[in-house]
Structure 1
Amino acid sequence: MRSADTEFVGGPLDGRVLPILLSPFNNVPKVYRVPVPAHLDRPAATLVYHRAKQYDARGRWRWRYEYEAADGEAADR
C-alpha cells in the first residue's frame, strides 16, 4: 500500500511528520485517532486529529492533521 508523509499540527504530535497509509483514492483518512495507553496515574486516552489542507507559496496543497482538543479545550488552528 502507498503512504504519504503527513504533518501533525497541535497536540502531543505537533511538528512530527509520519507516514500515513492512503485510501484507494490516494487520500489520507479524514480523522486519525492515536490510542494512548494508560501509564501510572494517567488513564488511557485517544488523541483525535482532523484532516486539513496546507497551502504552499505556489498555491499547491497537501494534507496535514490538526489536533482536536478533548473536553471543550480550545484547539490551536
Structure 2
Amino acid sequence: MKSEDTPFEGGPMDGRVLPVLLGITGHPPKTYRIPVPDPRGGEPTVLVYRRVERGQGRLGLTRRWKYVHDPEGRRGRVRRWPWSRPDTTPGGKPDAPHG
C-alpha cells in the first residue's frame, strides 16, 4: 500500500511528520487516533487528530493533507439512514415503507 508523509499540528505530536497509509481513494483517513499507554498501567489515553486540507499539490491536481489535534476527541458525525431511526410515530407503528 502507498503511504504519504503527513504533518501533525497541535497537541503532543506538533511538528512531527509520520508516514500515513493511504486508502483506495489516495487519501489518508479522516481521523487518526494514537493510543498512549498509561505509565501506571491504567486505561490508555487516545490522542485524536482530524484531517484537514493543507493546500494544493503540484499543478493544483492533487490535494495535500495534514492532521490537526482535536483536544475534545469527538467521535465525528454519526450518519443515520432514514430506515434505521428509532420509531417516533404516535402509537408506536412503524413508518410506511419508502419507495
TM-score range (shorter-chain normalised) is: 0.7 to 0.9
C-alpha offsets along residues 23-74 of structure 1, whole Å, 9 cap, x if unaligned?
0111000000000011138752000000001126x89441000000138xxx
Q: Which has the higher helix share?
A: 2
| Stretches (4+) displaced over 2 A | 40-43, 58-61
Q: Which has the higher strand share?
A: 1
Which structure 2 segments of 5+ residues have no match?
74-99
Aligned length: 70
The equivalent of 1:5 in structure 2 is 5
Rg larger for = 2
Alpha-carbon distance in 1 for matches of 2:53, 2:59: 11
Alpha-carbon distance in 1 for matches of 2:2, 2:59: 24
- Normalization by structure 1: what TM-score? 0.78
Which structure 1 segments of 5+ residues have no match?
72-77
